[in-house]
Structure 1
Amino acid sequence: MDDERPIEEILDTIGDETAREVLAAVSEEPRSAKEVAEFCDLSLPTVYRRIEMLKEHELITSETLVARDGNHYDAFKSNFDATVIRLKEDEYDIRIYRKENLPDRFSSLWDELGR
């Protein structure tokens, strides 16, 4: 990963069964916290705790939407395509492949080639 977060924190996050349920729910389509709670049969406070965990590690993102009645709400969606964890020289290496648009992917690739 590009950041320096301890691997244990990330593994704890994706190792949490409830966090994985929430992540799976928002991987299918963007959903509000209430929709996630109903979809996963979880309490709203539990969903919000897991959303915060997942956002902390940039595994999900949110966008503010406007409902038909004019109220605003956040919709959450997955922010990665894949996670690869491997053991390399007695250390774990974790790589999270984030969703990016094509220009961002090209820029990242170009930057990596220049190193």
Structure 2
Amino acid sequence: MTTHDATDEVDDILNLVTQDSARSILAAASDRPCTAEELAEQCDISLPTVYRHVTELQERGLLDEKLRIDESGDHVREFETTLESISFTFTDQGADAEIRFR
């Protein structure tokens, strides 16, 4: 479990997870590792949007990238959610987030 109390970081995470497409990516990648193309198809969002959100989610430690070698020997990047749960607390002093990782 990690608690984040830096206001800017909490705001960044809150802004990210309130976006439908970012939440869809987290949900899809929680079932099994997915390629960017699979995420775009499953979430019904464009590939550039997938890559933008993947980068943002990785920067915040909410998504992990793994390299898989397919049957033809090609390297395929797959993404998997590292997130177990996020809880936000709001007070007069600001926001706090408790993030649990798998």
TM class by smaller structure: 0.7 to 0.9
Aligned positions, number? 99
Which residue number in structure 2 is paired with residue 24 of structure 1?
A: 27
Gaps of 5+ in 1: 100-115
Q: How far apart are the structure 2 equivalents of 1:71 and 1:3?
A: 42
Q: 2:48 aligns with which of 21, 45, 49?
A: 45
Which runs of no fewer than 5 residues in structure 2 stay unpaired? none
Matched, 1:10 2:13: yes
Picking from 77, 81, 103, the partner of 2:80 is 77
Deviation at 1:89, TM superposition (A): 5.8
Amino acid at match of 2:80: K
* Deviations, residues 20-75 of structure 1 (Å, cap 9, x unaligned): 11111101111010111111122111111110111111101011000111000111
Higher relative contact order by CA 8 Å / sep ≥ 6: 1 or 2? Answer: 2
Identity between Structure 1 and Structure 2 (%): 31
Larger Rg: 1
Deviation at 1:8, TM superposition (A): 1.0
Q: Hey, what does 2:59 align to over in structure 1?
A: 56
